[in-house]
Structure 1
Amino acid sequence: MAQERTGVATIKGNPLTLIGPELKAGDTAPDFTLNKSLFEEVSLKDFEGKIKLISVVPSLDTGVCDAQTRRFNEEADSLGDKVVILTVSVDTPFAQERWCGAAGVDRVITLSDYKNNSFGEAYGVLIKELKLDMRAIFVLDENNKIHYVQYLREMTEHPDYEKALAAVKELL
């Protein structure tokens, strides 16, 4: 049975239960299997040798998630080829592709946790009540050691973009 964490997250002040561990800087990032398309799956090893900024959002079709993904897409060019930015949500790959096309997002790789929520459980962001992934940011080095984590307490708030980007730049 997966660990349940209460009192750590809310949506508009209403409490949520997160499933999975609370990861911390210094931990080795758990592997994951996410869908890049309906049939193509990827795991952490597919991004081997890259610095990874993992931006977790509940759904791309909401205001904060939209803004968060657009912001990291804008920053991607300035970070260079050693960095990959992954946006993880439970939106289907079809919805992610449609959203990226409409938003002009082409530097962030969107990955879907819709099939079995394994990323959400492994990274401690799966919301038990909603089966969505809670907003969070993870920065991993080339060897998948976590250097920065931000779990948002309130789903409707923005992450600290500057701290996340500073953590990536420290690894360059």
Structure 2
Amino acid sequence: MAHVTFGGNPVTLVGHEVKVGDQAPNFKVIDNDLNEKTLSDFKGVRLISSVPSLDTGVCDAQTRRFNEEAGKIDGVTVLTISVDLPFAQKRWCGASGLDHVITLSDHRDLSFGEAYGVVIKELRLLSRAVFVVNSNDEITYVEYVDEVTHHPNYEAALAAVKEAK
């Protein structure tokens, strides 16, 4: 598993670490209207952004950055997944005015978190990570951010999105 810290302290990631070339694992999450969604509900190239909580500065900035950049790339779907409740995600999206990112909640089952190896055992939050899945459901990019309070490598993730098209 990836070695990750939160505030400089080591944390334990639970689940299955994925790698480039793997078939993207399916998962069940909840959208902002309380509907169950799976990976297969979204087609084409998908950028999956895993964040601990939208109510924090880095998560907010990460989601806004991917929203802005996704608006410039045709045919990509950006999914931001956290364990925030769907109500909080909906409120955050409404206040933020984002239109190119879909927020999804993994609070119920941690299905996504376990499938992608990003559940922080000690906190029951998702670790910061970015995955790119191509239209054949293959993982073409993986970044487990080594310190949860740091930003991901936006440029590398966006380059991987463009390559996956």
Question: Do the two structures share a fold, i.e. TM-score over 0.5?
Answer: yes
Deviation at 1:118, TM superposition (A): 1.1
In structure 2, the partner of 1:137 is 130
Gaps of 5+ in 1: none
Cα deviation 1:97-142 (Å, max 9, x = unaligned): 1011111112100000000111101100000000000000000000
Deviation at 1:38, TM superposition (A): 5.2
- Note if 1:67 corresponds to 2:47: no
- Note if 1:108 corresponds to 2:101: yes
Deviation at 1:62, TM superposition (A): 0.3
Q: How many residues align?
A: 165
Deviation at 1:45, TM superposition (A): 1.1
2:20 match: secondary structure: coil
Deviation at 1:94, TM superposition (A): 0.5
Q: TM-score, normalised by structure 1?
A: 0.93
Gaps of 5+ in 2: none
Q: TM-score, normalised by structure 2?
A: 0.97
- Note if 1:161 corresponds to 2:154: yes
Distance 2:94 2:164 in 1: 30
- Note if 1:150 corresponds to 2:132: no
Distance 1:122 1:22 in 2: 8
1:79 match: secondary structure: coil
How does 1:1-172 map onto structure 2 within 5 Å? 5=1, 8-37=3-32, 39-48=34-43, 50-80=44-74, 82-172=75-165
Q: Percent identity?
A: 60
Cα deviation 1:6-33 (Å, max 9, x = unaligned): x711111111000012211000010000
